[in-house]
């Protein structure tokens, strides 16, 4: 009788253990995340994505291809409405800080970003943005200051960031500084090729490069001077990173920002929002296509906060009409406290779902990369 009871207990334990072991084997067989492409639409709320879909007459957009989604809370350590510095720091480091702070806590403790941790692990890194290279979001991934507006100080910190590829505006913070210091020769001494136009990197396929394509921010997407800069720069950065990684046998972390979606939101300008969103969605397509061809690549599409308080209400209350009309309405020329959407594609995409804090989003990305 005793032996029978022991046998039944052993059998029951085996039956309980089997699903756990099977799940463990399943997790072990999943591809490892080697590369992360983080696409940040600065100020891009869910209504901004909806507006793009609406203006495209609900034809498929690249974001439609996402394999998973989540809602992200954006408040900062000292305000229910975040600015780009605090939100950028949360996404970059996994830790809350106060508005106007970059890469440090309110108490002054230094925070280590995903890019810095990736560099320390021997990975390749890149930033591609349409704002200053020293502006809040890109700076959150390499700088440490309690004042986001210290652009020239932040530019000096870029020299030791270790970032391999950077395409942006903000040339004046490096080459036309108030203190008279020219950082371009220092960048070149650190092994970077420094360029002023995308034409100068057409024949560049590997190595380290800093492109400073405007004295200030890049033009808005509604201006012809902008062209297809952001998609072109994203594709070139991926080409260079891929070659560098093949040589170094490593992965990469790349942050791309559609920085001027935020400016369009501040301006309450529907045409600018549409142009910036369409441009950003093209970049999403480039990143998703890259993930399709390179196993081990995770693409994260998110925002730092929502700008403009955008809503898309109907023009009429009679919904029996064939067309009730849609209006663009704005609640503010500033940021709002609404949650933002995050979309995921590629290896590890299914690890994200539900509602989470922006710090948790950062920590999960770091965990998948082993950082």
Catalytic residue numbers read 84
| Separation between Cα atoms, residue 115 and residue 144, nearest integer Å | 13
Nearest one of 117, 118, 86, 91 to 104, comparing CA atoms: 86
Contact criterion met (CB below 8 Å) for 332 and 309? yes
Which residues are CB-neighbours of 225 under 8 A, at least 6 positions away?
Answer: 219
Q: Residue 84 in contact with residue 307, Cβ under 8 Å?
A: no
CB-neighbour burial class of residue 109 (10 A; exposed 0-12, middle 13-18, buried 19+): exposed
* DSSP one-letter string for 264-330: HHHTT-HHHHHHHHHHHHHHHHHHHHHHHHSTTEEEEEE-S-EES--B--BS-S-TTSS---B--B-
Residue 167 β-bridge partners: 128, 211
User: What's the distance, CA 28 to chain centroid?
Assistant: 27
Q: State residue 226 phi and psi, 5-degree precision.
A: -70, -40
- Please tell me the distance from the alpha carbon of residue 21 to that of residue 343, in angstroms, as a whole number: 30
Residue of 230, 83, 158 lying closest to 91 (CA atoms): 83
- Of 226, 286, 227, the residue nearest 256 (C-alpha): 286
Q: How many CB atoms lie within 10 A of CB 316?
A: 11
**Each residue of 172-190: b (16+ CB within 10 Å) or e?**
bbbbeeeeeeebeeebeee
């Amino acid at each position: 009788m005793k032996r029978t009871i022991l046998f039944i207990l052993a059998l029951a334990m085996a039956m309980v253990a089997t699903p756990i072991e099977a799940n463990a084997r399943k997790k072990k067989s999943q591809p490892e995340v080697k590369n992360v492409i983080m696409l940040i639409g600065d100020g891009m709320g869910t209504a901004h994505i909806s507006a793009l879909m609406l203006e495209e007459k609900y034809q498929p957009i690249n974001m439609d291809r996402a394999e998973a989604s989540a809602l992200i809370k954006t408040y900062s350590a000292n305000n229910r409405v975040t600015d780009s510095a605090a939100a950028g720091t949360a996404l970059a480091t996994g830790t809350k800080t106060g508005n106007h702070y970059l890469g440090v806590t309110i108490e002054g403790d230094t925070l280590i970003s995903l890019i810095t941790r990736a560099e320390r692990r021997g990975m390749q890194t890149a930033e591609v943005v349409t704002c200053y290279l020293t502006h809040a979001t890109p700076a959150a991934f390499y700088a440490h200051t309690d004042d986001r507006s210290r652009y020239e100080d932040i530019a000096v910190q870029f020299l030791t960031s270790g970032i391999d590829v950077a395409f942006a505006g903000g040339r004046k913070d490096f080459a036309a500084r108030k203190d008279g210091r020219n950082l371009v020769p220092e960048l070149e001494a650190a092994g970077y090729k420094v360029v002023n136009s995308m034409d100068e990197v057409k024949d560049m396929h590997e190595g380290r490069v800093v492109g400073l394509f405007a004295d200030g921010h890049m033009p808005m997407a509604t201006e012809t001077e902008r062209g297809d800069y952001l998609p072109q720069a994203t594709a070139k950065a991926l080409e260079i990173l891929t070659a560098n990684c093949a040589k170094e046998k490593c992965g990469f972390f790349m942050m791309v920002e559609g920085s001027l979606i935020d400016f369009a939101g501040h301006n309450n300008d529907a045409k600018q929002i549409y142009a910036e969103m369409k441009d950003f969605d093209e970049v999403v397509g480039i990143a998703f296509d890259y993930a399709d061809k390179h196993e081990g690549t995770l693409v994260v599409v998110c925002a730092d906060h929502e700008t403009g308080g955008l809503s898309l209400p109907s023009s009429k209350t009679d919904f029996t009409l064939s067309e009730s009309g849609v209006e663009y309405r704005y609640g503010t020329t500033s940021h709002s406290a609404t949650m933002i959407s995050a979309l995921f594609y590629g290896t590890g995409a299914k690890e994200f779902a539900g509602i989470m804090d922006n710090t948790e989003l950062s920590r999960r990305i770091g965990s998948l990369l082993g950082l």
